Amino acid sequence: MHQQLELLIMLHDVDLLLKESHDAETSRQLKKIGFKMGKTTKKIEAARERLLEGLDRDIVKRYRRLVKRYDRAVAPVLDGICYGCYQVMPTAMATDKDRNKEICLCPNCGRFLYWIEK
Amino acid sequence: MDSIMRLVDHLRTELMELNLRSQTKDEVLRELSDLLPIDEKSKEMLIETLKKREELGSTGVSRGVAIPHCRSLLVKKLYIVIGRSRKGMDFKSLDGKPVHIFFLIVAPPQEPSNQYLIALGKVAQMARELSKKKEALEIEDKQDFLRFLSKLDSG
């Protein structure tokens, strides 16, 4: 897997975790289930900063732009479909090649792509 | 939605370890993640996210049960991994007691029906029942354990 894609995936998952911890409705549901969500996210935010430092500046810029627009900047590709915009990938992209060895963007929505089925 | 989701439909014997060897929180997250059908690299990344989730608050929900969980791009569907440690281990549980039964839950972010939260709720409910049953620590066979959980799931 491309090292920058690794960082992007981890950044995405950390952002999702932070978002859920800050979201009042999700927190309420998790508390109802029995989980106690701490308010301190400093350690996680520090880890997030380290991930951002490892990413190329252009990728960070694009990531931030995509988050602003779509909330989530990285989308998985399953069965040749981008699960960000639900559009089918062009046949030229659906090859046997390991697409995760490079940084791919969805030609429709522009999100970073992570190919789950290689 | 809640009523139509059956937890047992997501439980598999290949995602079950009834004799966990781990002694620590990090070790058990790894041992449970090892059962997931994902590559090594993805596993390492997923374990990092699970550890970060634990930093928000222990998922050891008391009564000897822990439910480590997270959403991740690295999985394509909801997975529930079950682990058991007869001896029990310190998972920094909310009640401070050792944890014997683990349910690791991971789900993709793009899940429209939100089965993740439903699964978490159902597992927590099952955990309450489980803690009252001594068979939970006695059953040897994975299929028997699955049948035992099925009974709890159906009420």
ipTM, two decimals, is 0.90
Looking at beta carbons, which residues of chain A come within 8 Å of B45?
Answer: 6, 9-10, 13
- Tell whether B15 lies on the interface with A, counting CB pairs under 8 A: no
Q: pLDDT, tens digit, for every residue of B24-61?
A: 999 999 999 999 999 999 999 999 999 999 998 889 98
* Cα–Cα dist A35/A37, whole Å: 6
- What are the two backbone dihedrals, phi and then psi, of residue B17, each rounded to the nearest 5 degrees? -135, 110
- Tell whether B92 lies on the interface with A, counting CB pairs under 8 A: no
A118 to chain B: closest CA residue: B39
- Tell whether A6 lies on the interface with B, counting CB pairs under 8 A: yes
* Cα–Cα dist A94/A88, whole Å: 10
Question: Residue A96: its pLDDT value, please?
Answer: 67
Q: pLDDT, tens digit, for every residue of B140-150?
A: 999 999 999 98
- Tell whether B120 lies on the interface with A, counting CB pairs under 8 A: yes
**Which has more pLDDT, A73 or B135?**
A73
Looking at beta carbons, which residues of chain B come within 8 Å of A33?
Answer: 61, 117, 120-121, 124
Is pLDDT above 50 for B2? no
Per-position b or e across A50-88, b if 16+ CB within 10 A of its CB: ebbebbeeebbebbeebbeeeebbbbbbbeeebbbeeee
B128 to chain A: closest CA residue: A34
Check if the beta carbon of residue B110 is closer than 8 Å to that of residue B43: no
B76 to chain A: closest CA residue: A116
* CA contacts within 13 A on the Cβ side of A26: 14
Q: pLDDT, tens digit, for every residue of B60-116?
A: 987 899 999 999 999 999 999 999 999 999 998 888 899 999 999 999 997 666 788
- B46 to chain A nearest CA, in Å? 8
Question: Residue A103: its pLDDT value, please?
Answer: 96
Looking at beta carbons, which residues of chain A come within 8 Å of B48?
Answer: 10
Q: Which of B68, B55, B138 is nearest to B106 (CA)?
A: B68
B67 to chain A: closest CA residue: A35
Report the residue from A29, A35, A43 with minimal CB separation from B57.
Answer: A35
**Which has more pLDDT, B70 or A41?**
B70
Check if the beta carbon of residue A81 is closer than 8 Å to that of residue A109: no
What are the helix (H) ranges across chain A?
3-22, 24-33, 42-54, 57-70
* Cα–Cα dist B51/A69, whole Å: 29
Q: How confident is the model at residue B155 (pLDDT cuts 50, 70, 90)?
A: low
